[in-house]
């Protein structure tokens, strides 16, 4: 049985606000759910452009190019169970360079390297070993190596640059942080009321039933509401009975547009892409882990994950826990419903 507990995690909103800048195709994504963004949210996210200097924008773009911005936040947040901005900066300041560069290097390789990267675990305790490991990787282009190795050449300076970037962004965020807190208090109250009213419907509405957890044991999901995530769920770990994650504040509103009829055009668009067709054909055979699919199709894990998330959104792919890993499985019944609808529109039945 799944039990939901709601909690507050202010650092999560700061992280999501920062990462929102690089959320591609935002308008298209939200409009596919007929979700209209609040004017307030647009105003807050516009500050990432309006209130930052050209220097800060360049730093922002540089670290985005290295694909390490998410792990700069969630490496520390998840590993150190951080809740507030003050705690985050304290942990960041006190943590070792090895910790930071393990996050940076591991994330970069995970996004750019196709294949087994288990050797990283043998070197992640030492800066020189990490740097040499990356240098000696034949699978990485010299251009890719340069992007990440430039950070290793001056580790103290790299940490200082990241600290400065995040500190400046935190100053901007502090000007409206209390407003975000008030919004989230209101949304959390609404979610709690809906959960208490009908737990089964709440779990189905918010896609928790896609998580193939062992329901013979009690699972507690500690959930915080996220304003800047808008819709969707992020769960950090399925391997324990005490799971942490966040959910977009408009996730409930998105549910009513999840019906097969409303996703029909999106379904047709998705399956018209050859790469997505290959992914579906593989998932039809058995569950797959993201990095397995990436290796099989010779694509970056981030690319595979992007395609998978599109399938998850229209509910033809879901998650399944196997050996403490999150695998993706094809929801064949829902695929059949889309096919049945196509047959009906073409008057084939």
* Neighbouring residues of 205: CB distance < 8 A, sequence distance ≥ 6: 251, 252, 255
CB 212 within 8 A of CB 329: yes
Which of 257, 278, 309 finishes a domain? 257
CATH number of the domain where residue 306 is located: 1.10.10.10
Same domain, 239 and 290: no
Q: Give the count of domains, the chain.
A: 2
Same domain, 267 and 193: no
Q: Does 53 score more than 60 pLDDT?
A: yes
Strand 242-248 relative to strand 233-235: parallel, antiparallel, unpaired? antiparallel
Q: How far apart are CA 334 and CA 316, in angstroms?
A: 6
Same domain, 266 and 149: no
Same domain, 234 and 269: no
Question: What digits encode the pLDDT tens for the residues 236-258?
Answer: 766 667 788 899 999 877 765 56
Same domain, 294 and 209: no
| The predicted structure's pLDDT at residue 340 | 85
Assign 212 a pLDDT band (cuts: 50, 70, 90): low
Assign 215 a pLDDT band (cuts: 50, 70, 90): very low
- Least confident segment among 131-140, 193-202, 274-283: 193-202
Q: How far apart are CA 238 and CA 321, in angstroms?
A: 7
Same domain, 12 and 159: yes
Same domain, 40 and 62: yes
Share of the chain above pLDDT 70, in %: 92
Domain enclosing residue 324, as ranges: 261-345
Which of 209, 233, 257 finishes a domain? 257
pLDDT: is 29 or 158 the higher one?
158
- Please state the rounded mean pLDDT for residues 159-187: 97
| The predicted structure's pLDDT at residue 110 | 85
Same domain, 277 and 195: no
Same domain, 68 and 193: yes
Same domain, 273 and 246: no
Strand 242-248 relative to strand 219-226: parallel, antiparallel, unpaired? parallel
Which of 257, 274, 291 finishes a domain? 257
Same domain, 334 and 283: yes
- Please state the rounded mean pLDDT for residues 12-37: 80
Same domain, 230 and 111: yes
Q: Would you state the torsion angle of the CA atoms of residues 248, 251, 252, 257, taken in this order, to the nearest 10 degrees? A: 170
| The predicted structure's pLDDT at residue 323 | 79
């Amino acid at each position: 049985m799944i039990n939901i507990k709601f909690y507050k995690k202010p650092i999560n909103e700061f992280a999501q606000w920062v990462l929102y800048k690089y959320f591609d195709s935002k308008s298209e994504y939200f409009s596919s759910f007929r979700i209209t963004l609040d004017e307030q949210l647009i105003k807050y996210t516009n500050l990432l452009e309006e209130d930052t200097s050209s220097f800060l924008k360049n730093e922002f773009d540089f670290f985005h190019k290295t694909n390490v911005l998410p792990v700069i936040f969630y490496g520390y947040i998840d590993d150190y169970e951080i809740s507030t901005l003050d705690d985050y900066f304290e942990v960041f300041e006190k943590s070792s360079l090895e910790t930071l560069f393990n996050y940076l290097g591991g994330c970069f390789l995970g996004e750019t390297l196709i294949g087994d990267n288990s050797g990283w675990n043998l070197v992640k305790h030492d800066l020189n070993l990490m740097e040499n490991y990356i240098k000696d990787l034949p699978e990485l282009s010299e251009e890719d190596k340069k992007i990440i190795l430039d950070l290793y050449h001056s580790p103290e300076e790299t940490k200082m640059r990241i600290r400065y970037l995040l500190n400046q962004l935190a100053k901007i965020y502090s000007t409206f942080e209390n407003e975000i807190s008030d919004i989230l208090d209101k949304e959390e109250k609404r979610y709690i009321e809906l959960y208490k009213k009908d737990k089964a419907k709440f779990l189905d509405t918010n896609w928790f039933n896609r998580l193939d957890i062992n329901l013979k044991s009690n699972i507690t999901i500690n959930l915080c509401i996220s304003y800047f995530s808008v819709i969707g769920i992020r769960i950090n770990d399925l391997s324990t009975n005490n799971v942490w994650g966040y959910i977009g504040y408009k996730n409930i509103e998105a549910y009513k547009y999840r019906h097969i009829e409303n996703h029909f055009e999106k379904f047709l668009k998705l399956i018209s892409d050859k790469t997505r067709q290959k992914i579906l054909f593989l998932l039809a055979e058995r569950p797959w882990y993201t990095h397995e699919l990436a290796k099989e199709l010779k694509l970056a894990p981030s690319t595979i994950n992007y395609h998978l998330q599109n399938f998850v959104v229209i509910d033809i792919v879901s998650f399944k826990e196997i050996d403490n890993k999150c695998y993706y499985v094809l929801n064949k019944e829902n695929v059949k419903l889309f096919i049945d609808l196509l047959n009906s529109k073409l008057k084939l039945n």
